[in-house]
């Protein structure tokens, strides 16, 4: 349902601009805080898009990947916190029509941003897998079928082109690495594998928020439709009178 269909609700603000009065100051404070945090998360997503576009290119670096990892973790935790706040807003009792409108708008904004972030997490996981594959090949730890020789939790995708994955950062590191640095390189690879597991776990956790929000948005949509219908009926009755 489009927000454009609800002009009558927008005309009923919870807070009076002239008096500063609010039916529920706590509701207003909470929704304002959540909107601000959601804006920050959206900004993080834009930054991650720019940073990830450099991963796997000649401008790749350990510092870049660390920035991406840190921002991914920060944004993931941010979505969890905002998700809990949105649930609280959705369960608010005795909401006015304008508060219900705010509930739906906040839920839809959260769902849209969360969808974008899930896509970012999947892209990051895929680029990290490419790094691990290339690093294992450079160390001779992958067999002819593209599978790890030792018992590792990482399982690269199968396919004739998988063994040819090359990442500039890996090439640079392996070219500079001496025998004494092999253990260090192995540690980096294991860190990347741990990152993949963390991202996959984060995707699963945020999917739970998706399901909760989906249910809430559906319920709120029904309520908003009912409100709009009641407003329309009232206007028709008034005109008839």
| Whether 105 contacts 3, CB under 8 Å | yes
Per-residue model confidence (pLDDT) at position 119: 96
Q: What's the pLDDT band for 22 if we cut at 50, 70, 90?
A: low
Could you count the other beta carbons within 10 Å of the beta carbon of residue 62?
Answer: 10
Q: Is the per-residue pLDDT at 123 higher than 90?
A: yes
Domains of the chain: 26-149+163-224 (1.20.58.70)
Q: Which residue has the tokens 């920060």?
A: 74
Band the pLDDT of 164: cuts 50, 70, 90.
low
For the stretch 64-113, pLDDT in tens is 999 999 999 999 999 999 999 999 999 999 899 999 999 999 999 999 99
**Is residue 233's pLDDT more than 70?**
no
- Give residues with Cβ within 8 angstroms of 177, minimum separation 6: 184, 185
Between CA 10 and CA 104 the distance in angstroms is 13
Tokens standing for 98? Answer: 């304008």
Give the 3-state DSSP-derived string for the chain, with helices as H, strands as E and coil as C: CCHHHCHHHHCCCCECCCCCCECCHHHHHHHHHHHHHHHHHHHHHHHHHHHHCCCCCCCCCHHHHHHHHHHHHHHHHHHHHHHHHHHHHHCCCCCCHHHHHHHHHHHHHHHHHHHHHHHHHHHHHHHHHHHHHHHHHHHCCECCCCCECCCCCCCCCCCCCHHHCCCHHHHHHHHHCCHHHHHHHHHHHHHHHHHHHHHHHHHHHHHHHHHHHHHHHHHHHHHHHHHHHHHHHHHHHHHHC
Report the alpha-carbon distance of residue 121 to residue 103 in Å, rounded. 27
> Token digits for 51?
């940073």
Q: Give the model's pLDDT for residue 222.
A: 47
Residue with tokens 């939790």: 153
Whether 50 shows a pLDDT value over 50: the answer reads yes
- Whose tokens are 């601009």? That residue is 17
């Amino acid at each position: 349902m489009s927000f454009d269909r609800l002009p009558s609700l927008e005309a009923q603000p919870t807070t009076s601009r002239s008096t500063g009065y609010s039916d529920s100051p706590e509701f207003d404070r909470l929704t304002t805080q959540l909107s601000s945090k959601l804006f920050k998360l959206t900004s993080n997503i834009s930054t991650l898009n720019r940073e990830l576009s450099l991963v796997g290119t000649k401008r790749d670096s350990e510092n870049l990947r660390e920035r991406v990892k840190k921002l991914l973790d920060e944004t993931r935790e941010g979505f969890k916190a905002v998700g809990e706040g949105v649930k609280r807003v959705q369960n608010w009792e005795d909401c006015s029509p304008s508060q219900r409108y705010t509930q739906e708008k906040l839920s839809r904004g959260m769902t849209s941003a969360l969808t974008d972030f899930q896509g970012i997490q999947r892209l990051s996981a895929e680029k990290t897998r490419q790094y691990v594959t290339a690093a294992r090949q450079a160390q001779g730890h992958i067999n002819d079928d593209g599978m790890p020789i030792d018992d590792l939790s990482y399982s690269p995708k199968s396919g004739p082109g998988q063994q040819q994955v090359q990442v500039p950062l890996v090439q640079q590191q392996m070219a500079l690495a001496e025998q004494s640095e092999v253990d260090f390189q192995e540690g980096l690879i294991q860190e990347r594998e741990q990152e993949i597991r963390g991202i996959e776990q984060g995707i699963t956790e945020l999917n739970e928020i998706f399901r909760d929000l989906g249910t809430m948005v559906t319920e709120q949509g029904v309520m908003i439709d009912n409100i709009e219908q009641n407003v329309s009926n009232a206007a028709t009755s008034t005109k008839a009178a």
